[in-house]
């Protein structure tokens, strides 16, 4: 009896993990076109056998996919994959499935950059009028970390912290709702950037510093303009074709091959 209770307890605790694993597997296959738009997912019994989970796990994962706009569930018609236009493209999971790959979709990255160019300059301007002392400390700490970064990992983390701190400094809950999307897209942009032109990181650093100063000086116009410069710099380089050889992130003598977004 005791062993049975323990087994059930382990099953209950591990079920969310199994649901997320199935969700991620199916989500990636849909996002990458392995299961194309218009296709019907295999029957639940086939998915159970293939993925090694129970029917309840399969149903919960499909319910979440439906909530993210990837599939439509209709009785007697099965679970059908919807076209990309119906997907929640700013959802953290969906974006990660689409661009969190070794070879991200550059066209999608450019599309998201366009959205960033609408949102983030306005966010920087709002931050200049609303940032608290704590917000300013976070923004400047992130800038300092960017200046001190010596690897792709530290540069990515610092750059994310900088942009997310500015979103938070708007104190607008709707704008803060874009945190997950921007966090995910910055990681993908770095993957592409490392394969592109040298000098992105150093070349765009002064623009980031200008944003931080403008917010501290409460100059909304200057903050907006500087953020437009940051995003325009990234947009230009993302539009360039991929380099023939992959460059490693890190310092190289007096320069760096890191990218900055």
Q: Which CATH architecture has domain 92-256?
A: Up-down Bundle (1.20)
Of 41, 49, 47, which Cα lies nearest the Cα of 73?
A: 41
- Which residue ranges make up each domain of the chain? 2-86, 92-256
As a whole number of angstroms, the distance between CA 125 and CA 217 comes to 11
Give the tens place of pLDDT for each residue, 59-71.
999 999 999 999 9
Please state which CATH number belongs to domain 2-86.
1.10.10.10
End-to-end CA gap in the chain:
57
Determine the distance from the C-alpha atom of residue 252 to the mean position of all C-alpha atoms in its chain, rounded to a whole number: 28
Give the tens place of pLDDT for each residue, 107-128.
887 888 888 899 999 999 999 9
As a whole number of angstroms, the distance between CA 128 and CA 136 comes to 9
Instruction: pLDDT band for 208, please (50, 70, 90 cuts).
Output: very high
Of 173, 152, 99, which Cα lies nearest the Cα of 261?
A: 152
In degrees to the nearest 10, what's the CA dihedral of 182, 184, 188, 193? 40
Domain 2-86 shares a fold with domain 92-256: no
């Amino acid at each position: 009896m005791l062993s049975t209770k323990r087994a059930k307890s382990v099953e209950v605790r591990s079920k969310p993990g199994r649901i997320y694993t199935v969700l991620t597997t199916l989500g990636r296959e849909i996002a990458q076109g392995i299961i194309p738009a218009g296709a019907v997912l295999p029957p639940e019994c086939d998915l159970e056998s293939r993925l090694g989970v129970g029917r309840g796990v399969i149903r919960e994962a499909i319910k979440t996919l439906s909530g993210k706009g990837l599939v439509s569930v209709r009785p007697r018609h099965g679970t059908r994959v919807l076209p990309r236009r119906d997907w929640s493209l700013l959802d953290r999971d969906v974006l990660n499935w689409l661009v969190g790959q070794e070879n991200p979709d550059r066209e999608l990255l450019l599309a998201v950059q366009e959205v960033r160019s609408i949102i983030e300059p306005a966010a920087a301007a709002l931050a200049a009028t609303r940032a608290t002392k704590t917000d300013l400390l976070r923004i400047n700490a992130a800038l300092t970390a960017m200046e001190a970064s010596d690897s792709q990992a530290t540069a990515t983390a610092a750059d994310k912290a900088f942009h997310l701190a500015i979103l938070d400094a708007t104190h607008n809950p709707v704008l803060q709702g874009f945190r997950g999307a921007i966090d995910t897209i910055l990681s993908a942009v770095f993957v592409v950037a490392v394969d592109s032109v040298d000098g992105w990181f150093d070349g765009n650093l002064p623009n980031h510093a200008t944003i931080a100063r403008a917010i501290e000086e409460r100059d909304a116009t200057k903050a907006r303009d500087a953020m437009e410069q940051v995003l325009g710099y990234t947009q230009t380089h993302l539009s360039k074709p991929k380099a023939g050889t992959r460059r490693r992130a890190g310092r190289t003598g007096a320069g760096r091959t890191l990218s900055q977004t």
